[in-house]
Structure 1
C-alpha cells in the first residue's frame, strides 16, 4: 500500500513539474482547436491506460 502511495505521489510531482515547465513556454502558433484535439486524444489514450495500470497493480499487490 505504501508503494502505491509513493508511486502516486511521484506521478503527481512529475505532472506538477512538467506543467510548471510548460507554463513558461510561449507558443506563437497556438490554436485552440489544435489544443482541444490534442487534449482529447490525450484523455482518450491515457485515461484507459492509467485505469489498466491501477487495476493490474491492485491485483498484483
Structure 2
C-alpha cells in the first residue's frame, strides 16, 4: 500500500505544479500581449506623426 500512497502524492504534486505553472503562464501571456498591443499602437502613432504608415480612414 505505501507504493500507491506515494504515487497519489506524486500525482497530486504534479497537478498542483502544473496548475501553478499554467496560472503564471496565463498572467505572463496577458502581460506580454498588453505590452505588444501597446508597443504596436505607439509604433503606429509614431509612423503617423512622421507622415508614414496607415492613414486614418475618413
TM-score with structure 1 setting the length = 0.46
Higher relative contact order (CA 8 A, sep 6+): 1
TM-score with structure 2 setting the length = 0.48
